[in-house]
Chain A
Amino acid sequence: MSATAISDRVAVVGVGETDYRADYQRSRRAELGAPVGEPDRASSAEDLDEAPSGFAAEAFTRALADAGLEKGDIDGLAVCAGRAEEMGFERTAEILGLTVRWGAETGLPDHIVQVCVDGLAAGRCSTVAIVYGNGSRGRGAKAYGGVSEPRSGYMNQWYYHVWGFSSPGAQYAFTYQEYLDRLGCGEEELGAVAVAFRKNARLNPNAVMQDPMTIEQYLAARYTFRPLRLYDCCMVNDGGACLILQRADIATSTNHRPVLVGGVGRYSPYARHTQMGFRRHDAAIGCVEEASAECLGMAGVTPDDIDLVQCYDGFSVQLPMFLEGLGVCEPWEGLSFIQQGRIERDGVLPCNTGGGLLSESYMHGMNLHIEAVRQLRHEAGERQIAGAETAAYCHHGHWGAISMLYRRG
């Protein structure tokens, strides 16, 4: 059986999230009363802070209401967390009071969404809740990385402390420096990402970052991991998000137009990944090409058919890289493609229409899936892209690339 057989067999029928903006403002107020320069704190298994599960439970409650479903309709569960050890599957399922016939256990949201699509398409369950919670900010983290970074089954994040190297941001700075070295320019060009996403966030009442941002303000901000600047890096904020997926053949009685999963694709070359070769431009683009070709092939669409893009923007440079790998422009031309408003709401390919991880909320991509769904339902309010029928999602990271294609049911 080819993967095309499961295209459009699964629908997103419910979405929910916490009050990102209000919660962030609460965190900031607490921080202003706290000592300055507080170090990143490691999570600990002994620590019974269940704030992440609490955020997830709120998002789950809202997603059920959005879908018009009851808790008892959920027979499959997946649990994702900002840090895996913060929110275990069993305890989360207990807090939500669920009885399930199928579980994807825990993992990164984007891996988990694809596993859930398979579980539903195989008929192992009818309705899956993917719940996500993140309590990193409340624990004192303002950035990811450092010696407290826990070991979680991969090494690249924590193997190089002795050389003073840490953080995914520094890894993307490696890639961005390749652009600068090759093109002889690009520092101002990359600013188009942060500026465009901030404009989108200003039309999203729940976005954390809503102050206007000009390219001058972008360039005036400090470097974080030079050549990346402050506004090239996502925030760290607390919250929860939930997606409810259902077999498409029974997804007719919910509150909203269902949004179908047209395609999925993944390409993960793990050999030598502690060497950081995956951060080299050509290798990263290659992963996106492979995952996107699989995804678009499964859905039977071409890049020209895509109405809008949601790209995992932990760091702004991920967007030009994705656009190159997706095939909307040639390799190394991503920085030129994003100029002249092409990625803005009224441009040829609107990207991260809710503000993205840079300006809306850092929910490890969950909020990007939710924004895709709202756009394809035509429920995105002021920021709605008129007539949106298809949305591409991509995340490329240390494990390769994942692509998804959503379409209006």
Chain B
Amino acid sequence: MAIERPPRVLGGHHTEFWDRCTDAGFSLQRCGGCEEVLWPPSSRCDRCLGAELEWEEVSGAASLVTHCEFEREYYPQCPPPWLVILVRLAEGPLFVSNPQGIGRTGLVPGLPLKVVMLDCEDVHGRFRLPVFGPVSGAHPELPSKIVNKCCNFR
């Protein structure tokens, strides 16, 4: 059964993003001129201003950058505590999403992640939503440096 979610932002290339996610898998635009992968969808490459943008299914590989947990309800479909993550896609862009099968204390920076396409539904209809789950067998990389400066200061 499809999971209910707050409404997607649709229109133009935003609609195309969701159509491709639903029909083909997690897809983004790549600039034909400079090879940059874009997010969010756009009519121009923000690096070289090229207009030849091709949709392609991306790897779905990502690593965790940071996270937060909503304790205040903004959407009835997303009751608190509600986790949101910021990930770095293997192709370059940062992407805001949700963790799948990882609790708050497991969200360590550098954690390798893999896209999961969730069957969802909003007021516009059925769609597949890219969220991110653990890579089986992978161990999180610890942050490169724990400096603990603030505690030393006190």
Contact = CB atoms under 8 A, between A and B. Distances in A.
| Chain A complexes with chain B | yes
Interface string B110-136: 000000000010100000010100000
Interface in B69-90: 69-72, 74-75, 77-78, 81-82, 84, 86
A276 B86 contact: yes
A234 B45 CA distance: 37
Given A161-B6, A164-B6, A182 B145 contact: yes
B150 A164 contact: no
Interface stretch (A167-175, A350-358, A371-379): A167-175
B115 to A, nearest CB: 13
Contacts of A333: 149-150, 153
Nearest to A182: B143
Contacts of A280: 65-66
Nearest to A155: B40
Contacts of A147: 6-7, 74-75
A162 B96 CA distance: 10
Interface string A118-158: 00000000000000000000000001011100000001001
A310 to B, nearest CB: 23
Contacts of A224: 71-72
A144 to B, nearest CB: 10
B84 A159 contact: no
Contact of B150 (A146, A155, A189): A189
A18 interface: no
Given A161-B75, A272-B93, A183 B9 contact: no
A274 interface: yes
A185 B47 CA distance: 38
B20 interface: no
B68 A183 contact: no
B60 interface: no
Contacts of B77: 164
Interface string A168-203: 001001110110011111100100000000000000
B55 interface: no
Nearest to B18: A162
Contact of A181 (B40, B66, B74, B96): B66
Nearest to B110: A181
B146 interface: yes
B17 to A, nearest CB: 11
Contact of B146 (A143, A173, A175, A184): A184
B46 A271 contact: yes
Given A147-B6, A162-B8, A225 B143 contact: no
A76 B109 CA distance: 50
Given A158-B9, A182-B145, A225 B93 contact: no
Closest 3 CB pairs of A and B: A164-B78, A336-B153, A173-B68
